Amino acid sequence: MTAERAVYSNWGRWGSDDERGAANLLGGEVVLDACRLPTKGRVYNLGIEVRQGAPVAGRRISPVHLMASDGGDYAALGREDWGTADDYLFLASGGTTHIDGLSHLWYGGRMYNGFSFREVRSSGAARCGIEKVGGLVARGHLLDFTTFPTKRPGLIGTADVTAYVAARGLKVQPGDALLFRTGWIETALGGTLQEASCPVVASDAVEWIAEHDIAIVGADNPAVEAVAERGVLPPLHQILLRDLGVYIIELLTLAEPARDGVTTGMLVVAPLLISRGVNGPVNPLLIV
């Protein structure tokens, strides 16, 4: 990608100082529309457990969970009638199930809305920090490509999304979220991962995403798209985050709602309010 004007762009759409991108699509009426979807009161956790050895995105390390005090410690007073336990957690903000902030990526010296990459320094992101996102409530559509053939082996493109939406009768509206199930997370957790056996979202799917004003794109793998070579920016990330301000959620677990036949539900995503953070750990909820 170059610094030239992108084919798809939301720069300036919500003002020259906007730092929230497609989150602006999730206004009051869109949120209320999503809230009307649940009819069963069933809540699905879409995040993976935060633990040592769980799948992580990219070259990040596994979470480290340490106890500060416990039932066997002198600090806990060694009492049986009452006591307290406390713990610490060290993890990559983009390691476990997480949402990519709009300051996570840039090219041509610019990140979303034209802000300079120099706004992201060792002290964090002065622009487009994850704390600017706030809570996201949207209509979430589960697209299960473990059971739906694609035109190109291993790639989910615009034609495939079009065919899936038509086959399942999904009604997609501006501000909606697309959640792609590829089967990656189940095979990774089961220790039988074969990358080639799980499809990824192709860069040309951005055509469908942009034309339908999608606000959030998520998947049950570490990058949504194919993992790029070292030193190469993944193209879908470039267009979604930098050009469109569309949020990406990685390492979702979608098997349970898929098994229950869920196609659309109320999606709730609340990133940790990490000041000047570039990513946010999340446990998204899909409510039906």
Shared-domain flag, residues 142 and 70 = no
Clarify whether residues 130 and 74 are in a common domain.
no
At 193 the pLDDT is: 52
Q: What percent of the chain has pLDDT over 90?
A: 80
Q: Where does a domain end: 49, 69, 91?
A: 91
Q: Is the pLDDT of residue 23 over 60?
A: yes
282 shares a domain with 177: yes
Q: Which of 36, 70, 91 is the last residue of a domain?
A: 91
Task: Report the distance separating Cα 37 and Cα 285, nearest Å.
Answer: 13
Residue 127 shares a structural domain with residue 82: no
* pLDDT score of 56: 86
Determine the pLDDT at residue 5: 52
What is the mean predicted confidence (pLDDT) over 221-231? Answer: 79
Those residues whose C-beta lies under 8 Å from the C-beta of residue 145, and which sit 6 or more positions away, are 156, 160, 164, 180, 181, 182, 199
pLDDT at 191: 60
Same domain? 70 vs 203: no
Determine, yes or no, domain membership for 85. yes
Asked if 225 and 86 sit in the same domain, the reply is no
- The predicted pLDDT at position 194 comes to 54
Mean model confidence pLDDT for the chain = 92
149-153, 226-230, 284-288: which is most confident:
284-288
Task: Summarize pLDDT for 119-158 with one digit per residue, the tens.
Answer: 999 999 999 999 999 999 999 999 999 999 999 999 999 9
Same domain, 99 and 85: no
Q: What DSSP letter does each residue of the chain carry, written as one string?
A: --SSPPSS--TTTT-TT--SGGGGG--HHHHHHHHT--SS--EEE-SPP--TTS--STTPPPPEEEEEE-TTSTTTTT-SSS---EEEEE--TTTSSEEE-TTS--BTTB-GGG-BGGGEETTEESSS-GGGT--EEEEEEEEETTSS--SBTTEE-HHHHHHHHHHHT----TT-EEEEE-SHHHHHHTT---GGGS-EE-GGGHHHHHHTT--EEEESSSSSSPPPPTT---HHHIIIIIII--EEEES---HHHHHTT--EEEEEE-----TT-SEEE---EEE-
Q: Which residue is listed with tokens 């109320």?
A: 266
Domain assignment present for residue 225? The answer is yes
- Asked if residue 79 has pLDDT above 70, the reply is no
Taking a C-beta distance cutoff of 8 angstroms, is the pair 181, 258 a contact? Answer: yes
Does this model's pTM top 0.85? My answer is yes
Instruction: Kindly state whether residue 166 falls inside one of the protein's structural domains.
Output: yes
In a domain, 237, yes or no: yes
Q: 83 and 211 share a domain?
A: no
Q: Is 51 contained in some domain?
A: yes
**Residue 9 forms part of a structural domain:** no
pLDDT score, position 72: 79
pLDDT in tens, 231-259: 667 899 999 999 999 999 999 999 999 99
Residue 171 and residue 87 share a domain: no
Q: State yes or no: pLDDT of 3 exceeds 60.
A: no
Final residue belonging to a domain, choices 48, 73, 91 = 91
User: How many structural domains is the chain composed of?
Assistant: 2
Do 72 and 136 belong to one domain?
A: no
- Cα-based distances in Å from 16 to 10, 11, 12, 106, 130: 10, 7, 5, 17, 18
Interior/surface letters 159-186, b for 16+ CB within 10 angstroms, e for the rest: bbbeebbeeeebebeebbbbbbbbbbbb
* CATH code, 97: 3.50.30.50
Range of the domain at 258: 21-57+92-287
pLDDT of amino acid 84: 83
Residues 81 and 186 in one domain: no
196: pLDDT strictly greater than 70: no
Percent of the chain at pLDDT > 70 equals: 92
Residue 2's pLDDT band (cuts 50, 70, 90) = very low
pLDDT band at 1 (very low <50, low <70, confident <90, very high): very low
Give residue-wise pLDDT tens across range 98-120: 999 999 999 999 999 999 999 99
Contact 221, 175 (CB under 8 A): no
Question: Is 12 among the domain residues?
Answer: no
Mean pLDDT in residue range 160-174: 98
User: Could you tell me the CA-to-CA distances from 274 to 81, 88, 125 in Å, in that order?
Assistant: 37, 16, 10
Same domain (yes/no): 204, 192: yes
Sorting pLDDT into bands at 50, 70 and 90, what band is 59?
confident
Six-digit token string for 242: 């930098």
Decide which of 57 and 76 is more confident: 57
pLDDT average, residue stretch 220-226: 93
Q: Is residue 146 part of a domain?
A: yes
Q: Is the pLDDT of residue 286 over 50?
A: yes
- Per-residue pLDDT, 43: 99
